[in-house]
A and B are shown apart, each in its own frame.
Chain A
Amino acid sequence: MPEPLIDLQDVTKSYPGVEEPAVKSLNLAVEPGEILVLVGPSGCGKSTTLRLINRMIQPTSGRIIYEGQDVTKSDPNELRRRMGYVIQQIGLFPHRTIAENIATVPKLLKWPKKRIRERVDELLEIVSMDPSIYRDRYPSELSGGQAQRVGVARALGADPDVLLMDEPFGAIDPITRDRLQNEFLRLQAELKKTIVFVTHDIDEAVKMGDRIAILRDQSEIAQLDKPEVILTDPADEFVENFLGSGAVLKTLTLRRVRDIDLDPMVTVKQPVHRGQALAEMNTANTTTAVLLDEQDHPLRWIDERALNSSTSSLDRAGRPITVQLQPEDTLQDALSAMLQTSSGMSVVVDGRGKYLGCCTIESLAGLLLNQGNGSEHS
């Protein structure tokens, strides 16, 4: 295990006049380059935990280690300039232009003007906003999604190693949120920042997290693990209840078509006439086959009965293949594709449309069942 970048050691936060501490003896290590999601019911102390890291809240006891140094008592402002911070309401400065907003931390760090200007344009491009259009606009001229992008760009201003994000996509409509999440994951694949991400939405946690910490009252860690482990092997009843009934279905978004063994269906390749096709299916002892064209692109499902009952050419026998999957598609996509076909089967093709095999509802079910059993033994 790599040296943690952020390490909370035995951190407690209690408020005067409140008997129970808000965060109680928390130990949490964040590894470099990961997205660690803190998720839990409201009031569990997940935001407090996040704000303890950049010392927006001062811990009552315990230590905060950042990059190997104890920063529990260091200058908090200096610490915060080394960590990007994104909150749900974003909090762009309304009296400053987009460029000035993004330049906030570089300016505090007294970067030369030219370097700041270049950095601003670079960041705007990173979050896919045209600098020549948006540089000199004001926050009031932005849509919610754009403001969120600028918020992320501002947090990345001085290229910090760490991003702290408190429900960053919480106030955005579902469609835009989905797009921003995907964009952000693509961005993270390049930037490889260390990210602590707070959300109350388990679906978002599963989607965004390399690891997920499920928190209960007083920020006690109920389970901390990779999303697929948490979904298939919840530590206790609390986690199970928090995951909700759809936990197994959620694992489908984590696996891809390439993770399952494809069924080698019998294929019949054009040019071929019906007699030949029937003979081939007979030898293979099957009633259904996939008809391919000369370039191995799947064309139609053909079956024995259809071939026998009509005399029309092969091009019109059976049913056309309308839905195709690719190895990168998630198993959730696969499931919905299969449910659209009456056979419970879907063909899988590679990037150029060539036939690879078939994916059946049985193999999917087998995978899910195995997963459930397998994890109990391990």
Chain B
Amino acid sequence: MDGIVNWWDYLSSRWDLVGATLMETIIYVVTVTVSAGVLAIVTGILTRNRPFAKEMSLAIASVFLTIPSLALFTIFIPLVGLGFAPSFIALFLYAILPILRNTVTGLDSVDPSVLESARGMGLTKSQVLLQVQLPLAWPVMLAGIRVAALLTVGISAIATLVAGGGLGDFIKSGLARLPLPNSLEAIWTGVILSLALAFTIDVLLRLLGRVTTPAGVR
């Protein structure tokens, strides 16, 4: 019980800092998910009828995910310096695979006879894509976007090591000062806020899925 009270005291004495740090993480999540989403979805669409290009892009995206995060965050420092930029690049590269994978799966899983009949009725290629294939693939694609967003919340904690800010700052400073007063509280702040943020994003994206999934395929 004491722990929770102490943690609450710790939190309420530095709302400004907590708010600013949380905002940094949210900015990572939004910018990374949106930009990786655009790249992955466009790639998935462009390669949908080209099996070789499709496999290649998936293979490349998978390679990024196998690079240890500590390395990926630091690798770009010589090029872009410290702070937001190297963190953004690393998170962006990580977020591509889940979205690309699900875009490819989603587009591929549309019943071929549905596409055949669409084409047979005289829908143009772009009409088939926009009116039939994408709406039917969308729930699977959105699931990929959700995974990417949650992944970004978790991994963005590493950004603190390259001076990128975010909730990782609390965890790092707490770890550095253990077992001094307020060190555990700092760690808890980073962890619990990350969890709360992830939970909120999950709920929001599920709601978005509800609203944007066409009736009939729900």
Q: Verify B116–A94 contact, CB threshold 8 A.
A: no
Q: Verify B114–A87 contact, CB threshold 8 A.
A: no
User: A19-27, A74-82, A264-272, A296-304: which one contacts chain B?
Assistant: A74-82
- A56 beta carbon closer than 8 Å to chain B: yes
- B117 beta carbon closer than 8 Å to chain A: yes
- A92 beta carbon closer than 8 Å to chain B: yes
Minimum CB–CB distance from A133 to chain B (whole Å) comes to: 16
A residues in contact with B210, CB < 8 Å:
none
- B217 beta carbon closer than 8 Å to chain A: yes
B residues in contact with A90, CB < 8 Å:
113, 117
* CB interface residues, A 79-101, toward B, < 8 Å: 79-81, 85, 87-97
User: B44-52, B121-129, B178-186: which one contacts chain A?
Assistant: B121-129
Q: Verify A85–B216 contact, CB threshold 8 A.
A: no
Minimum CB–CB distance from B192 to chain A (whole Å) comes to: 40
- B214 beta carbon closer than 8 Å to chain A: yes
* B111, B122, B216: the one within 8 Å of A91 (CB): B111
Q: Verify B215–A91 contact, CB threshold 8 A.
A: no
* CB interface residues, A 242-274, toward B, < 8 Å: none
Minimum CB–CB distance from B107 to chain A (whole Å) comes to: 14
Minimum CB–CB distance from B118 to chain A (whole Å) comes to: 7
A residues in contact with B124, CB < 8 Å:
77
Q: Verify A108–B216 contact, CB threshold 8 A.
A: no
A353 to B216 Cα, complex, angstroms: 51
Q: Verify A95–B121 contact, CB threshold 8 A.
A: no
- A105 beta carbon closer than 8 Å to chain B: yes
- A330 beta carbon closer than 8 Å to chain B: no
How many positions in chain A have a CB within 8 Å of any CB in the partner chain?
Answer: 31
Given contacts A87-B113, A89-B111, A89-B113, contact A94 B120 (CB under 8 A): no
Given contacts A77-B124, A79-B122, A105-B122, contact A95 B217 (CB under 8 A): yes
Question: Which has the most chain B C-beta neighbours within 10 Å: A54, A91, A139?
Answer: A91
B residues in contact with A80, CB < 8 Å:
119-122
A76 to B217 Cα, complex, angstroms: 30
Chain A binding surface SS class? mixed
Given contacts A89-B111, A89-B113, contact A94 B123 (CB under 8 A): no
A residues in contact with B82, CB < 8 Å:
none
* B115, B120, B123, B135: the one within 8 Å of A54 (CB): B120
Q: Verify A56–B120 contact, CB threshold 8 A.
A: yes
* CB interface residues, B 62-119, toward A, < 8 Å: 111, 113-119
Q: Verify A95–B136 contact, CB threshold 8 A.
A: yes
B residues in contact with A157, CB < 8 Å:
121
- A14 beta carbon closer than 8 Å to chain B: no
* A76, A104, A140, A154: the one within 8 Å of B216 (CB): A140
A residues in contact with B116, CB < 8 Å:
56, 87, 89, 91
A140 to B135 Cα, complex, angstroms: 16
- A184 beta carbon closer than 8 Å to chain B: no
A residues in contact with B113, CB < 8 Å:
87-91
Q: Verify A105–B121 contact, CB threshold 8 A.
A: yes
- B132 beta carbon closer than 8 Å to chain A: yes
Q: Verify A95–B135 contact, CB threshold 8 A.
A: yes
A residues in contact with B132, CB < 8 Å:
93, 95
Give A129-156 as 1s and 0s: 1 = Cβ < 8 Å from B's Cβ atoms. 0000000001110000000000100110
Q: Verify B121–A104 contact, CB threshold 8 A.
A: yes
A93 to B118 Cα, complex, angstroms: 8
* A77, A105, A138, A164: the one within 8 Å of B215 (CB): A138
A residues in contact with B217, CB < 8 Å:
94-95, 140
**Quick one: closest B residue to A80, CB to CB?**
B122
A residues in contact with B135, CB < 8 Å:
95
* A79, A93, A108: the one within 8 Å of B114 (CB): A93
Minimum CB–CB distance from B149 to chain A (whole Å) comes to: 24
Minimum CB–CB distance from A105 to chain B (whole Å) comes to: 5
Minimum CB–CB distance from B201 to chain A (whole Å) comes to: 26
Minimum CB–CB distance from B136 to chain A (whole Å) comes to: 6
Minimum CB–CB distance from B153 to chain A (whole Å) comes to: 31
A287 to B132 Cα, complex, angstroms: 74
A164 to B76 Cα, complex, angstroms: 59
* A56, A93, A95, A97: the one within 8 Å of B119 (CB): A56
Given contacts A89-B113, A92-B114, A95-B136, contact A78 B216 (CB under 8 A): no
A54 to B121 Cα, complex, angstroms: 9
Minimum CB–CB distance from B214 to chain A (whole Å) comes to: 4
* CB interface residues, A 39-61, toward B, < 8 Å: 54, 56
* A85, A89, A94: the one within 8 Å of B136 (CB): A94
Minimum CB–CB distance from A51 to chain B (whole Å) comes to: 8
Q: 3 nearest interchain CB pairs?
A: A91-B117, A138-B216, A89-B113
Q: List 11 A-B contacts (CB under 8 A).
A: A54-B120, A56-B120, A76-B122, A78-B122, A89-B111, A89-B113, A89-B116, A92-B114, A95-B214, A151-B117, A154-B121
Not counting A80-B122, A95-B135, a sample of 8 additional A-B residue pairs whose C-beta atoms are within 8 angstroms of each other reads A56-B116, A76-B122, A77-B122, A77-B124, A88-B113, A94-B136, A104-B121, A151-B117
